[in-house]
Chains A and B, each alone.
Chain A
Amino acid sequence: MRTLIQALSLLLFSTLFIFATYQLPDWLPADIYLRLDPLLGMNAVFAAREIIGRALWSLVTIGATLSIGRFFCAYVCPMGASIDFLDFLFFRKKKRLGLKTGTSLRRLKYFLLVIFIVAALTGFSLAFLMDPMSLLTRFYTFFIYPLVTTLINLLLDLLRPVFGALGWVALSHQHYFQSVYYMTAITLLIFGGIIFLNRLAPRFWCRYLCPLGAFLSFISPLGFFKRRVSQECNECLKCQKACPMGAVAEDPRGTRLPECIQCRTCAKVCPQKAITFPASVSLGGEYSQVDFSRRGFLYSLAGGLGVGFLAMRTPFALKQSKHPLIRPPGAIPETEFLRTCIRCGECMKSCLTNTLQPTLWESGFAGLWTPKMDPRLAPCDQNCNVCGKVCPTQAIRSLSLEEKTHAKVGTAVLRKEMCLVWAQNKICLICDEICPYNAIVFRPVEGYRRPVVVASKCNGCGFCEQRCPVQGESAIVVVANGEIRLREGSYIKEAKKLELEFRPDAGDDKFILEESGFKVEDKEKRNILPAEKTQPKKPKGFL
């Protein structure tokens, strides 16, 4: 029964993950698991110092845990399900190295929780590092998703001749877009490490490390359902050995309530059928307290403050306007963005073009795994606004397409010394051709038609940078300059105020027919452009 619910939960998590992509229906909260996570919610709310609507969903989890107990870990948590499943696959028959159940390791998760909460209070979002929802979504995004795509495409390639022979045209040309990400290996190592810890003890992660589990165990002893052992108990200690959480005390009649996830494994293995989980309102008891020391608390308090302090010691932390990264459209101002983003990777998974990539150290510890645009790899498509839709903390705001178009992420800058047209007089127009907003125009300069960026029409989508045929680095690059980052309010209004216009209109290609694109008096023109006799009077391609 429990396994079934667990499997269904993991399936639901995976299905929602698949749905988090272009044209995600507005009514479908693909990020619901992340929203339900109270640790991520607290982390974002504390760090950003404001109430985040979607984070309020986590109150559901808190309420349920308060009334039922720490059931979340055993039934809902997809990370727990993954751990259980992989444990079954790899370590079922292995002899565990064994750890005494009463070890002080148990406290570790509480210390971590305190560190994360305190760090959040200093304005440093850190919980992402170990929060199970964030961790698993990241693992899915950076590892599972690209891997599955590869495998499916491989299968399609193998079957292509068969499909061709059968005349299944669409299938024989089927190919799924292969997303690629930086940091896939790191993400795999971390997840692999977590699984490998099961070699020491089952659910090692959940028992000793998971900060979400720590939070839930704080409030779980209040729940109605508690383990009760009847007189039938013959102290065979089978339950103690079987408990995946090490929640059965030295005396098997006792239960460490904060550790108990109500999986009922003990009841199943009990030969005397002495174990039940009745509803009860009793509180207290020697095992209901959270295993925590004052010294440990103080240490972790200091740890949290210290980490918060250290994380801000990067050259850019205090000068956020000078950060070099291109953030997704709708990303709130950089300081708030870093505080609110929980690094789940959902935006990068859902990104239609694969331009969103995780940040490594470019903006220090505080920017780890945050999404950035990599326009050389792919542009931001003007018909897609999914990254905001799936952001569980709205570090990227969910915007309408029209609003998103005006959420300027940067400005394209032409590097003339590399441009084929400027530097080599080649006939190249790819940036102009691909620009969705006609922000690149050709103007006659010193006898040649040269591409120029009209900054007020460029919203930084990056099509030009991606398509530039110059090898290696692009001759036209998007820089963060001119980005619009709003915590609230309309991007359209803001863009209007700044006299920006991102409209697919007819543009001013007529310039290429005029003698000069620059509106100067004839007299002055002669001074500015002395040798203009070779000025082409016709558009390129016409003789």
Chain B
Amino acid sequence: MSGCKRGMTRRKFLKMAAAGTALGLVGKPSFSFAKEEYDLAVISGEPVAATNKALEAMGGISHFVKKGQRVVLKPNMSFSRTPEFATTTHPLVVATVAQACIEAGAQQVLVLDHTLHRAELCIERAGIREACKNIPGVHVLALQERKFFREIKIPQGKVLERVEVIKEVLDNPVLINIPVAKSHSATGVSLGIKGLMGLIWDRESFHSQYNINQAIADLGTVIKPQLTILDATRALASGGPGGPGEVKKPNLIIAGIDPVAVDSYGVSIVPWYGQNFKGRQVEHLLVAHQKGLGKIDTDQLKIFKEKV
């Protein structure tokens, strides 16, 4: 009896802890600083210059990263392919953001992804670790072991009620999502919100068990990046997400706080599979928008555009 009782309290405790964590993530006031002038920064140019300009346009990295904070960068380095395949985030974009975070006083920058291919191969071929190796305090890790993940609940989840997320992401770091722009044969495109699937343990159930578009939006209610920097220096316009496919060169960096807005704009930059689409036509973005995760109509956004 007593054992049963203790079990209950422990469960309750876990529930509360999970809810607390979730709340912490949800409750982060990510839309609320006064000096914000633009919803999106769309910068055209070479990776490093464009990324720096985009950060500047968003009010500078110090808006997001305060001294002593821990930062998690989530690029896409899930495939053991070199950057020209456009299946992974450009190493220079990641390195530039990491450098900026360190300069802003970040205590530590973790670059994390749960890779699809063997971790060491992804690390080797995606080139992100190589690009970041000279920046002190930056660690590029590809995690493929369940012990590095922790389960949380998704209070607002419609199909996804719980999910195992990389532990470091749950400890309230500054989370910056740095996806690459690519097509996806199940979700149309794979940009910021879809890219967050790289932070969870069990992706397969998204495909086999749930409606993947709904599940992605559910996930978006608990993992909320403070900033999304879409690497559209190259875009995989077909054959995504794993490639190989048609690689276009929009030479764009799109940054924004609102993850849906960034993605929605990202949909419009190239024709996917040879056709032009709007954000509203991408099911998982629409669901995310309807769930209140962000704005989907790009014509209502204040966009800062520049060429560097």
Highest count of chain A CB atoms <10 Å: which of B85, B183, B208: B208
Report whether A383 and B125 are in contact in the complex, using a CB–CB cutoff of 8 Å: yes
Contacts of A430 in B (CB 8 A): 204, 207
The one of B85, B117, B186 that contacts A541, using a Cβ cutoff of 8 Å: B186
B286 interface residue per 8 A CB criterion: yes
Q: Which range holds the interface residue count of chain A?
A: 35 or more
CB contact list, A409-448 vs B, under 8 A = 420, 426-430, 432-436, 438, 442
A507 interface residue per 8 A CB criterion: yes
Closest Cβ–Cβ distance, residue A114 to chain B (whole Å): 46
Closest Cβ–Cβ distance, residue B187 to chain A (whole Å): 4
Report whether A506 and B185 are in contact in the complex, using a CB–CB cutoff of 8 Å: no
Q: How far is the CA of A428 from the CA of B206 in the complex (A)?
A: 9
Report whether B207 and A429 are in contact in the complex, using a CB–CB cutoff of 8 Å: yes
Specify the chain B residue showing the minimal Cβ separation from A353. Answer: B118
Closest Cβ–Cβ distance, residue B109 to chain A (whole Å): 10
Cβ proximity bits B195-226 to A, threshold 8 Å, 1 near / 0 not: 00000000011011001110000000000000
Closest Cβ–Cβ distance, residue A446 to chain B (whole Å): 19
Report whether B184 and A513 are in contact in the complex, using a CB–CB cutoff of 8 Å: no
Contacts of A507 in B (CB 8 A): 238-239, 244-245
Cβ proximity bits B231-249 to A, threshold 8 Å, 1 near / 0 not: 0000000110111111000
Contacts of A175 in B (CB 8 A): 144-145, 147-148
Q: Which range holds the interface residue count of chain B?
A: 35 or more
A173 interface residue per 8 A CB criterion: yes
Contacts of B92 in A (CB 8 A): none
A92 interface residue per 8 A CB criterion: no
Asked, given contacts A434-B116, A442-B185, A469-B208, whether A542 binds B281 with beta carbons under 8 Å apart, the answer is yes
Closest Cβ–Cβ distance, residue A87 to chain B (whole Å): 39
CB contact list, A522-543 vs B, under 8 A = 538-543
Report whether A513 and B275 are in contact in the complex, using a CB–CB cutoff of 8 Å: yes
Report whether A435 and B238 are in contact in the complex, using a CB–CB cutoff of 8 Å: no
Asked, given contacts A383-B125, A420-B208, whether A510 binds B110 with beta carbons under 8 Å apart, the answer is no
Specify the chain A residue showing the minimal Cβ separation from B237. Answer: A506
Report whether B139 and A170 are in contact in the complex, using a CB–CB cutoff of 8 Å: yes
A509 interface residue per 8 A CB criterion: yes
Closest Cβ–Cβ distance, residue B260 to chain A (whole Å): 15
Report whether B245 and A542 are in contact in the complex, using a CB–CB cutoff of 8 Å: no
Contacts of A169 in B (CB 8 A): 108, 110, 139, 141
Q: How far is the CA of A352 from the CA of B120 in the complex (A)?
A: 10
Cβ proximity bits A172-184 to B, threshold 8 Å, 1 near / 0 not: 0101010000000
Specify the chain B residue showing the minimal Cβ separation from A503. Answer: B244
Specify the chain A residue showing the minimal Cβ separation from B112. Answer: A173
Specify the chain A residue showing the minimal Cβ separation from B194. Answer: A541
Asked, given contacts A169-B110, A541-B184, A541-B283, whether A383 binds B85 with beta carbons under 8 Å apart, the answer is no
Highest count of chain A CB atoms <10 Å: which of B145, B147, B242: B242
A291 interface residue per 8 A CB criterion: no
Report whether B187 and A505 are in contact in the complex, using a CB–CB cutoff of 8 Å: no
Contacts of A420 in B (CB 8 A): 207-208
A157 interface residue per 8 A CB criterion: yes
Contacts of B42 in A (CB 8 A): none
Q: How far is the CA of A541 from the CA of B241 in the complex (A)?
A: 13
Contacts of A177 in B (CB 8 A): 118
A381 interface residue per 8 A CB criterion: yes
Closest Cβ–Cβ distance, residue B254 to chain A (whole Å): 19
A504 interface residue per 8 A CB criterion: yes
Specify the chain A residue showing the minimal Cβ separation from B242. Answer: A433
Report whether A506 and B244 are in contact in the complex, using a CB–CB cutoff of 8 Å: yes
B273 interface residue per 8 A CB criterion: yes
Asked, given contacts A433-B242, A509-B245, A542-B277, whether A381 binds B272 with beta carbons under 8 Å apart, the answer is no
The one of A383, A540, A542 that contacts B80, using a Cβ cutoff of 8 Å: A383
Contacts of A74 in B (CB 8 A): none
Closest Cβ–Cβ distance, residue A386 to chain B (whole Å): 13
Contacts of A157 in B (CB 8 A): 147
Cβ proximity bits A434-472 to B, threshold 8 Å, 1 near / 0 not: 111010001000000000000000000000000101100
Specify the chain B residue showing the minimal Cβ separation from A513. Answer: B273
Contacts of A538 in B (CB 8 A): 275, 281
Asked, given contacts A428-B207, A539-B272, whether A504 binds B238 with beta carbons under 8 Å apart, the answer is no
Cβ proximity bits B103-121 to A, threshold 8 Å, 1 near / 0 not: 0000010100000111011
Contacts of A206 in B (CB 8 A): none
Asked, given contacts A353-B118, A507-B244, whether A427 binds B286 with beta carbons under 8 Å apart, the answer is no
Specify the chain B residue showing the minimal Cβ separation from A441. Answer: B185
Asked, given contacts A432-B185, A436-B242, whether A381 binds B139 with beta carbons under 8 Å apart, the answer is no
Cβ proximity bits B130-153 to A, threshold 8 Å, 1 near / 0 not: 000000000101011101100000
Specify the chain B residue showing the minimal Cβ separation from A449. Answer: B185
Q: How far is the CA of A48 from the CA of B148 in the complex (A)?
A: 49
The one of B121, B144, B145, B242 that contacts A383, using a Cβ cutoff of 8 Å: B121
Specify the chain B residue showing the minimal Cβ separation from A178. Answer: B145
Q: How far is the CA of A132 from the CA of B286 in the complex (A)?
A: 65
Asked, given contacts A420-B208, A509-B273, whether A433 binds B281 with beta carbons under 8 Å apart, the answer is no
Q: How far is the CA of A506 from the CA of B239 in the complex (A)?
A: 6
Contacts of A543 in B (CB 8 A): 280-283, 286
Closest Cβ–Cβ distance, residue B259 to chain A (whole Å): 17
CB contact list, A176-207 vs B, under 8 A = 177
Report whether B238 and A510 are in contact in the complex, using a CB–CB cutoff of 8 Å: yes
Contacts of A540 in B (CB 8 A): 185-188
Closest Cβ–Cβ distance, residue A405 to chain B (whole Å): 13
Q: How far is the CA of A442 from the CA of B184 in the complex (A)?
A: 12
Q: How far is the CA of A177 from the CA of B147 in the complex (A)?
A: 13
Q: How far is the CA of A175 from the CA of B80 in the complex (A)?
A: 19
A512 interface residue per 8 A CB criterion: yes
B3 interface residue per 8 A CB criterion: no
Closest Cβ–Cβ distance, residue A507 to chain B (whole Å): 5
The one of A426, A442, A505, A513 that contacts B207, using a Cβ cutoff of 8 Å: A426
CB contact list, A155-172 vs B, under 8 A = 157, 167, 169-170
Contacts of B242 in A (CB 8 A): 432-436
Contacts of B213 in A (CB 8 A): 541
Asked, given contacts A504-B244, A506-B238, A541-B213, whether A173 binds B141 with beta carbons under 8 Å apart, the answer is yes
Q: How far is the CA of A438 from the CA of B185 in the complex (A)?
A: 12
Report whether A541 and B118 are in contact in the complex, using a CB–CB cutoff of 8 Å: no
Asked, given contacts A506-B239, A509-B238, whether A539 binds B139 with beta carbons under 8 Å apart, the answer is no
Contacts of A173 in B (CB 8 A): 139, 141, 143, 148
Report whether A542 and B283 are in contact in the complex, using a CB–CB cutoff of 8 Å: yes
19 A–B contacts from the bound complex (CB under 8 Å): A157-B147, A173-B141, A175-B145, A175-B148, A381-B117, A427-B211, A438-B239, A442-B185, A506-B246, A507-B238, A510-B273, A539-B273, A540-B185, A540-B186, A540-B188, A541-B186, A541-B213, A541-B282, A543-B283
Which 4 pairs, one residue from A and one from B, show the smallest C-beta to C-beta distance?
A541-B188, A504-B244, A469-B208, A541-B187
